[in-house]
Chains A and B, each alone.
Chain A
Amino acid sequence: MDRFGGAPLKGVFIVDLTNYWAGPHAVRIMADFGAEVVKVEYVKRLCVLRGAKKDNKAYDKHPMWHQVNRNRYSVTLDLKEDRDREAFKDLIRRADVVVDNFRGGFLDSIGLGYNDLVKIKPDLIMVSMSAFGDTGPYRSYSGVGGSIEAVSGIQSLTGYEKDGKRLRIREMDVLAGVAGACAIMTALMHRQRTGEGQKVDLSQMEAATHTLIGEHLLEYVMNGSVDLPKANRHRRFAPHGCYRCKDDDKWVAVAVRSDAEWQRFCDVLEHPELKDDRRFADRASRLRNHGLLDELIEKWTIRHTHIDVMQKLQDAGIPAGAVLNVAEISEDPHLKERGFFLPDPDGGARLFPGCPFRMSGWSGEVRRRGPDLGEHNRYVFMELLGRSEGEVPEVKEEEIGTGYDPE
């Protein structure tokens, strides 16, 4: 503990009913910053991140599970069974926040919606992150990143050609997840000041739309058109693109924003004569002759590694970045020096991706990997809920179903 007071969410208790990626990601951010989280799992249908296999407890061994569901306890409950419902309600009695990403209306239909839970915990915060929201004609629709990205119009903005195939970007679930974290924190701030809890209805489609394309929708409303997709080019900057470098599948992204940057770029390119070339004299002419520029640039980049190109251009104050793959990111000297990667709490050499921000007195931590199935049944029932040993749920292997089996 230092002068700033350590983990910001110390003492906040969250019940996590989420599955897939978006909901668990929202809760991960809270857990990384000190919240105590109990994840409620359904043995008969495990979260998709626990994978498709049951042999040798494969569902406890996936790195994606360890990452996205880290820093929480696992308790197995069947919310349709009376005995487990009582235990769940006891968890809610001590909870500050409950988060779910069921279809809109599901929890209400089993008598565990906000209106039911608020009766047992009047200042409860409930954040429901359904695909399309708790109301409206799509309320019971389900959605994954691939459907939400398409239906929201987000996917219509990315592609290699104006009229060609539209491609997905990285990453709908995470954006909706961070928006979920925003919702939790907004509600916690209000409760800290007023003592009042509330329900937050987060439609993943709306959150992603707001975040990514609010400006583009407004452009469409105001001007009747949107100037995307543009592949790797830019509306105002030229040259702006992704260029092939030395070695297989190595690329660099470059953005030249001004005439001054262009002049410096010509020097780095070892073609100072281009500074006086009228075809590239200003932004408008460079935009017009972009194809020609691309050829000239790639003739140079192909002779260098993507890291070298980045460094040469950055040394000249020009925005450039190597297109890094995950192997390169894991070795990136900048991220290493900043201590981005976090050690495995169980020891060993493996590292975890770190946190999206840091603050005085706290940079986030991995206290434990995503838990084994029901790993904390005992802890939750006996320590947290004060039940007897005989009431601790048992995970029966033969009852386990994965999220991949046909019904």
Chain B
Amino acid sequence: MTEGALSGLRVIDLTHYIAGPYCTKLMAGFGAEVIKVELPGRGDMTRSMGPFYKAEAGIERSIPFLWLNTGKKSITLNIKSSKGREILKDIIREADVLVENFSPSFLPSLNLDYETLRELNPRLVMTSISNFGQTGPYRNYEAEEIVEYALSGGMYLTGDPAKAPLNAGPAVTQYTAGLNAYVGTLMALFRRGNNGMGAHVDVSIQESALDNIEISLVNYLHLGVLAKRTNDRHSMVPWELYPCSDGEVAVISAPIRYWHRAAEVLDEPALFDKKYRHCMDRRKYREEYEALLKKCLKKYRKKELSRAGQEKKLAFGYLADFDDVLESPQLRSRKFFEEVTHPVTGSHRYCGAPYKMSKTPWRHARAPLLGEHNFTVYGKMLGLSMEELEQLKKEGVI
């Protein structure tokens, strides 16, 4: 098999929950050897959180875990024990990357801070993902997704101004941080490729997610404009979801210059009157324009109208449910979903690569069972004997 883009890199994965595991999932998918270090007996806390396959709890049945850890190896190790710590150091000596998302004081409390690890392995790239970064007054604050969404400005802008700000359904801040941690780690590796020196990468989930509102933020910093939530009312008209005969259709006047082409799709000539020709005119007459549009949309079906708009080069769409997504002709044609088989849960369709590279493949693989690679890693990589492994197991180290 052809090698992945990151093949040859060894990553020690001390992460749990979402942001860290998503970062290392991408590394594994693009070819790195990722060794996930888990707590003996329990593993990554996500293994116990669910939702579970067929709603039946079990550490090999957690759906987020199965998704977030594809392509990795799993070893068990209690890094709080002194023996465990020494073993971890042995592994880190042989590694290119260490990714962790503990609270900022945890690894230093075990004498596993970056400066110490750098002495062991000057080429190491250590990436620390945390709620608020390694420094600053909030560094030890507790957070969950809704708290990060609030403190990174996304939440204030989501939802209806007449109601409370609305949390995002998906864990948008943590996933944004996972992506950014991947970029930062690779940049540090790229620099190492030129100068031979490792680095510490500090990823704050809050700061990562602030990029999501960079335009609103710079408009405040430079113009004093205070962005508010709008119930999805966009500055351009039309540019949102509207009800149609069988659901919601995204009637979007983008590219703005092509909007008049919608006249061939929407059977309401008044919408294309000279009065509404420029986007600034449509904005000016928003209420009456949207009223006309909504009335006209009642006779269309979401998929047909979306396709008709796209055929006129307009960025129409429709509100898809998950059946629509799984059956999307586009995703099928591009083989976006891949069948992954797992010894406990069986064979299911997972999303495959996030982007397609012409010369280096994505690794199709499942998540590991807890401690599945203890023998491979401790035996082959560190040269420990079966007896030593048994002893470590008895002592609760692995």
Contact = CB atoms under 8 A, between A and B. Distances in A.
Interface in B162-213: 163-172, 175-184, 186-191, 193-195, 197, 199-204, 206-208, 210-213
Interface string B40-74: 00000000011101110000000110111000000
Given A242-B146, A321-B143, A138 B310 contact: yes
Contact of B182 (A66, A170, A182, A323): A182
A174 B207 CA distance: 13
A143 B187 contact: no
A210 B155 contact: no
Q: How large is the interface on B (under 10, 10 to 19, 20 to 34, 35 or more residues)?
A: 35 or more
Given A209-B325, A252-B150, A215 B68 contact: yes
A217 to B, nearest CB: 6
Contacts, number: 500
Contacts of B357: 183, 186-187, 190, 198-201
A168 B232 contact: yes
A219 B169 CA distance: 14
A201 B176 CA distance: 20
Interface string B1-42: 000011010000000000000100010001000000000000
Interface in B127-181: 132-133, 135-138, 141-144, 146-161, 163-172, 175-181
A284 interface: no
Contacts of A132: 330
Contacts of A231: 166-167
B226 interface: yes
Contacts of B168: 158, 169-170
Nearest to A20: B254
Nearest to A315: B141
A8 B279 CA distance: 42
18 contacts: A133-B334, A136-B334, A144-B254, A158-B170, A166-B248, A169-B154, A179-B179, A189-B186, A189-B190, A211-B175, A217-B325, A218-B351, A221-B348, A226-B322, A326-B217, A327-B220, A335-B210, A359-B200
Contacts of B333: 135-137
Contacts of B136: 334-335, 337-338
Interface in A188-219: 188-190, 192-193, 196, 198-203, 205-207, 209-219
A5 interface: yes
Contacts of B351: 206, 209-210, 214, 217-218
Given A340-B207, A405-B278, A150 B318 contact: yes
Interface in A227-249: 227-232, 234-237, 240-244, 249
Contacts of B320: 150-153, 156
- 7 interchain residue pairs of minimum CB distance: A157-B169, A147-B317, A321-B147, A63-B222, A185-B186, A8-B191, A136-B333
A252 B146 CA distance: 10
B291 interface: no
Given A5-B195, A153-B324, A203 B221 contact: no
B254 A142 contact: yes
A314 to B, nearest CB: 5
Interface stretch (B76-84, B255-263, B382-390): B255-263
